[in-house]
Amino acid sequence: MREVVLCPGSRSQALALAAAEFERAGRLRLHVRIDERSAGFLALGLAVESGVPAVVVTTSGTAVANLHPAVLEAHHSGVPMIVLTADRPVELRGIGANQTTRQPGMFGVAARLTRDLEAPLDGPVDPAAVRDVARAAVATALGGPDAARDEGAPAVPGPVHLNVALREPLSAAAGALPAPRPEHVDAGSWSAAARAAAVRVEVDDEPGTVVVAGHAAGVEAEALARALGAPLVAEVSSGAHFGPNLALGYRTLLGQTDFGGAVRRVVVLGHPTLTRQVPALLARRDVEVLVVRGAAAEAYDPGRSATVVDAVEVVETGGGAPDDRAHRAWVGRWVHAGRRLVGDEESAPDLDAATSDDGAARAEFLRGEVALLRRSVTRRALAETLWRVTWPHDRLVLGASRLIREVDEVVPGKRIRVHANRGLAGIDGTVATAAGVALASQVDDRAPGVTRVLVGDLTLLHDVGSLLFGDGEARPRLQVVVGNDGGGTIFDGLEVAATAPADAMRRVQFTPHSVQLAGLAAAYGWHHVLAATRAELDQALARAWDAPVLIEVPLSR
């Protein structure tokens, strides 16, 4: 472990000051935040990018409770995290002592491991015992055998809670740091056992299989679709939104008889969360559903009838092969139909006119291009532009809003790193998560890329405290792109919007606001740019900013 995120507090002072000493010695990277919720999601983002748990240090009381949203997201997404909370000793618990509540067990089933570490009565703690706790915490967070939640279920990565009781005096002068003891922590053999127990899936004789890749499915989903000769329905944060079998416009296709109606088998990887069509397909009784268990805490089975497995092995039989004529036709139908459905928002430019010998034709072409750049930004244009400027060395984080569905629906295949907090699909901590992804990907400036996060205005306002980095804290290359439509327009799509009183819907669902984002950015020391046209958006995204920037894009309701 190399990353520590901490929040200030009296009871945790020794942990905080020790962390500062370790950072001074170059042994770890320290990130200080005043808001525990931001700190928790920052640790989540660091782990998402690095694959290694970050530790979050807090003081006692409500500080611990404020970590709960991030702990729940880590639990449901299968992201490793270690929560290190300071507490009162046993003699101060249960007597109404200040800032004291029942901290052990606060996170319930979301914690893979909970250890309540008592304050020693006399003498120092045995270093060997400390190392044993550390090994167990890291191994469990990474998905070692102790991380299984139910008997017989495979272990998965997730959060660990170490509650450390401290008795006064709470700290002392720092002495010499212990010598480095680099160790490899074995996360256990469960993954090898899963591969050994892989279920054999045959290439079907008559094509009818579709591979669904939900959030964090990984590149394995794309390879599986090719191996099965199956269309690939891949959400934008699946890690598999690319490849020759990718079916765009899948929402529409799944609702059509010639496509969704012809599906007879679905293999699911990851956690699908962005459509109603996918769970409806999986709940059909005439469809065989095979769910490959991943890092998430729960297997995705909306129909409660799926066969849940730990891995699959594709085998060819005499009846079919992934590259035979029937399978090529099956995949081709989905791919070509999807491309036609998505199309382009704008008609393709007349490139012949651009190089025509006719001056009038060239002038007309240029006027058209200028007019396009001067147009206001639509949601689709925002999604497509952000996707176009993001490359493999960049990172893209998508908040839980209407915009992630827009991106998912229209962008073409492209193998880039995309993350979204889809474990519980909440709007909590999106800016903090993106900051963690950025800081981890830009360690020692080894990666030249930019991290961009696309959020709606309410998602930004819900996590506005995460704009605060604090003096002396590292500031990553981070662009927060805000689609500002003045409230929660995602709720306009609810069925009830057609019948409920408009003024009530506006107040309690749309929740309008008039926050001036430019002033908000200035208060936190961020750059701000208003990108009202497509040209302004292109310029803002392409510019090399010397500090984090808030790019505000006005959108119509």
**Chain-centre distance of CA 509, in angstroms?**
25
pLDDT of residue 1: 85
Note whether 442 and 477 are within 8 A (CB). Answer: yes
Nearest to 1 by CA among 33, 34, 46, 59: 46
Check if CATH label 3.40.50.970 holds for domain 3-188.
yes
Summary count for the chain: helices (H), strands (E): 19, 19
Characterize the bridge pairing of strands 417-419 and 478-484: unpaired
198-342 is a CATH 3.40.50.1220 domain: yes
Predicted pLDDT of residue 225 = 96
From the CB of residue 529, how many other CB atoms can be counted at a distance below 10 Å?
19
pLDDT of the residue at 187? 53
**Mapped to the 3 state alphabet, what secondary structure does 100-141 carry?**
CCCCCCCCHHHCCEEEEECCCCCCCCCHHHHHHHHHHHHHHH
Q: What is the DSSP string of 257-290?
A: TTTGGG--EEEEESB--S-SHHHHHHT-TTSEEE
Burial environment of residue 96 by CB neighbours within 10 A (0 to 12, 13 to 18, 19 or more)? exposed
Which residues 6+ apart lie within 8 Å of 195 measured at CB? 310, 311
The confidence score (pLDDT) of residue 352 equals 63
Q: What is the pLDDT of residue 193?
A: 46
**Which long-range contacts (C-beta less than 8 Å, at least 24 apart) are formed by 183-189?**
183/135, 185/135, 185/138, 185/139, 185/142, 186/139, 186/144, 187/139, 187/142, 187/143, 187/144, 187/157, 188/139, 188/143, 188/144, 188/145, 188/147, 188/155, 189/145
Where are the extended beta strands (E) located within 422-495?
Answer: 451-456, 478-484
* HEC assignment per residue over 524-547: CCCEEEECCEHHHHHHHHHCCCCC
Q: Name the 3-class secondary structure at 318.
A: coil
Domain boundaries, the chain: 3-188, 198-342, 346-372, 375-554
Decide if 104 contacts 76 (C-beta within 8 A): no
Tell me the two tokens of residue 552.
Answer: 């505000």
8 Å CB contact between 81 and 70: yes
Residue 189's pLDDT is what? 43
The 3-class secondary structure across 490-501, one letter per residue, is: HHHHCHHHHCCC
Q: What is the DSSP letter of 215?
A: B
Which tokens go with 510?
Answer: 């749309």
How far is Cα 19 from Cα 35, in angstroms, rounded to an integer? 18
Cα(540)–Cα(122) distance, integer angstroms? 60
Give the C-alpha separation, 3 to 54, whole Å.
Answer: 5
Full 3-state SS string of 139-195:
HHHCCCHHHCCCCCCCCCCCEEEEEEECCCCCCCCCCCCCCCCCCCCCCCCHHHHHH
What does the radius of gyration of the chain's CA atoms come to, in whole angstroms?
Answer: 26
Which stretches of the chain score pLDDT less than 70?
A: 145-154, 184-197, 344-356, 361-373, 446-447
Which CATH fold topology does 375-554 show?
Rossmann fold (3.40.50)
Residue 529 sits at φ, ψ, to 5 deg, of: -140, 135
Angle between helix 36-50 and helix 68-77 axes, rounded to 10 deg: 20
Distance CA 508, CA 280 (A): 29
Sorted by sequence, the CB contacts under 8 Å of residue 504 that are 6+ apart come out as none
CA nearest to 235, candidates 17, 428, 383, 411: 411
Is 94 exposed, middle or buried, given 0-12, 13-18 or 19+ CB atoms closer than 10 A? exposed
Which amino acid is it at 446? R
What kind and span of H or E run contains 210?
A: strand 209-213
pLDDT given at position 400? 93
Amino acid code (one letter) for 437? V
Within this chain, domains 3-188 and 198-342 share the same CATH topology? yes
